[in-house]
C-alpha cells in the first residue's frame, strides 16, 4: 500500500464512515458529498488511476462493480437510480491518486438544494 489518504483510511489511520469492507474492497461516505448519497468505492490495492489497471486486475474490477450494486441496495438508492463516476487523472478532476468510484444518488428523496 501507498501513503495516499485512501491507503491511510484503509489502514485505519484516518477515520471514515464505512458502508462496506472486505479483504479487497472498501466503501465509505465522501466527506464532501456532491449528492444526497455520495459513497466512494475503491480497491484496497493501490492503483493510481484507471490508466494503471492491468489485465490481472480484471477480477478485482468486476468485484468492485458488484459491490457498487450491493452498496446502492444497502443505502436504498437502487430503485430510484444512481450514478457511478470514475475520474481518471488530474485533468478529469481526480483529486486522490488512488482509483475510486463515486456512487451518487438519493435525488429522488427530494432533498432540498440537490440537483442531478
Q: Write out the catalytic residue numbers.
A: 100
Residues 116, 113: Cα–Cα separation, whole Å: 10
User: What's the grid cell of residue 26?
Assistant: 472498501
Residues 98, 102: Cα–Cα separation, whole Å: 12
49 DSSP assignment: S
Amino acid at each position: 500500500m501507498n501513503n495516499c489518504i485512501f491507503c491511510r483510511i484503509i489502514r485505519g489511520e484516518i477515520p471514515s464512515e464505512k458502508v462496506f469492507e472486505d479483504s479487497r474492497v472498501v466503501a465509505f461516505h465522501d466527506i464532501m458529498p456532491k449528492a444526497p448519497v455520495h459513497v466512494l468505492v475503491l480497491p484496497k490495492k493501490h492503483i493510481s488511476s484507471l490508466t494503471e489497471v492491468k489485465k490481472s486486475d480484471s477480477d478485482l474490477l468486476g468485484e468492485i462493480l458488484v459491490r457498487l450494486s450491493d452498496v446502492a441496495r444497502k443505502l436504498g438508492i437502487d430503485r430510484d437510480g444512481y450514478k457511478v463516476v470514475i475520474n481518471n487523472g488530474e485533468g478529469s478532476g481526480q483529486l486522490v491518486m488512488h482509483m475510486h468510484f463515486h456512487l451518487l444518488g438519493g435525488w429522488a428523496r427530494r432533498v432540498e438544494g440537490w440537483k442531478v
